[in-house]
Structure 1
Amino acid sequence: MSAFIYLASQSPRRSQLLSQIGVRHALLLPQTAGADDTVGQVADDLVEDAEALEAVRPGEAPARYVQRVTALKLDAAVARHARRGLPAAPILCADTTVALGRSIFGKPADAAEAARMLAALSGRVHRVLTAVALQAGPRRLAALSVSRVRFAAMTPAQITAYVASGEPLGKAGAYGIQGSIAQYVENLNGSYSGIMGLPLYETARLLRAVGVLRDH
């Protein structure tokens, strides 16, 4: 059994993973211009520019980057929660990035960039880093999951076909491990749920620390 939390993420996969371990949650997302809200509230939420939050600083290491972005997203979610006067409950954020060496592969801007990312990852080992942060009252807890994935060598035709499926867009590193890319995953060392976007072991540990998850 679990208490209720807010999930500040637009990823349906993170919501599904929380449900998998029995955590009741509601989404805490920025309003869009079409939402039934006041102009002021919408304007405040639109200030939360996800692209600006996710900008990589020169020379920034992947682990530092993903932890910093997650903290910024949690800051924005905490402020959003306060603006809306919502009932108190812990707020959970996460962010995932793919790293090849020190190079950070975020979400591809278009199909061409997705193809370039996949060509770079083909036949090589890369890391998938997912940071998790939880705000529970004045307490903030954080964790980092690092997994290693080896892709088999992919032909240009295979990359083109995968990009054409639409799966790579909106996903760090231009792929979703739960999709058809799985046929090219030669080896995986780490957290499957972390590669999906929410490492359940680390997340459950944080939720237990604040009393949201209980074993009995």
Structure 2
Amino acid sequence: MAHLILASSSPRRQELLLQLGLTFEVFSPEIDESVLPDENAVQYVARLAQAKAWAVLQKFPDATVIAADTSLSVDGEIIGKPESKAHAFAIWQKLSGRCHDVLTGVCVTNAKQSVDRVVQTQVEFQQLTPNDMENYWATGEPVGKAGAYAIQGQAAQYIPRIIGSYTNVVGLPLHETIQLLQAVDALN
């Protein structure tokens, strides 16, 4: 098996890869995550995953790098991580009582080739009350999470259904990641 490096400090991504029994190192690159003018969510997550993979490959040219970026999109707006409690509440007000898309760009690259994919999952949120928002914020769980929630945690109580990959919403679509690793012969 190839020397794998996960280009992410996300504990959730690490846990997901460990579920597959993969052995890997972690190196989180510093990249500019600003949204470019006229960039949509699909383009944004794809670009960031590729940039993370490329940055790590430059430091570890003999490795196979797995990189990902997850964001939400509602009404064409890219929704990232909350910057404050007020920002989290504003995000939840946009998501409340409707569906939104969770998009993850995944890029697997090595010195010979690079493959990538964007995976989209539709998530339905129930109508959140101010009390729901206060209680959920108090858990600390929303901090550092795209969309200010963790489907694998207490936010699950607010999500009646999803259409698509559950692991994508957690932060790394495992089925597609394995396909990408196989495409670059990293699992042999």
Which TM-score tier does this pair reach, normalised by the shorter chain? over 0.9
Contact 1:95–1:130 (CA under 8 A) maintained in structure 2: yes
SS at match of 2:109: strand
What is the CA distance between 1:156 and its match in structure 2? 0.6
What does 1:59-208 align with in structure 2 at a 5 Å threshold?
59-81=38-60, 88-208=62-182
Q: Cα deviations across residues 91-149 of structure 1 (Å, max 9, x unaligned)?
A: 11000001002101001111110111011101010000001001122211101110000
Aligned residues, how many? 188
Aligned partners of 1:145 and 1:179: how far apart in 2? Answer: 21
Aligned partners of 2:185 and 2:58: how far apart in 1? Answer: 23
Aligned partners of 2:3 and 2:89: how far apart in 1? Answer: 40
TM-score, normalised relative to structure 1: 0.83
The answer to whether the aligner puts 1:55 opposite 2:34 as a matched pair is yes
Contact 2:64–2:108 (CA under 8 A) maintained in structure 1: yes
The percentage of counterpart residues that share the same residue type is: 41
Uncovered stretches (5+) of structure 1, i.e. residues with no partner:
31-47, 83-87
Uncovered stretches (5+) of structure 2, i.e. residues with no partner:
none
The answer to whether the aligner puts 1:21 opposite 2:25 as a matched pair is no
Q: Structure 1 residues 79, 136: CA separation in 2 closer, same or farther (over 3 Å shift)?
A: closer
Contact 1:4–1:23 (CA under 8 A) maintained in structure 2: no
The answer to whether the aligner puts 1:212 opposite 2:171 as a matched pair is no
What is the CA distance between 1:212 and its match in structure 2? 2.2
Runs of 4+ in 1 over 3 A off after TM superposition: none
TM-score, normalised relative to structure 2: 0.95
Q: Cα deviations across residues 37-83 of structure 1 (Å, max 9, x unaligned)?
A: xxxxxxxxxxx3x4xx211123321101111111111222122325x
Aligned partners of 1:77 and 1:89: how far apart in 2? Answer: 9
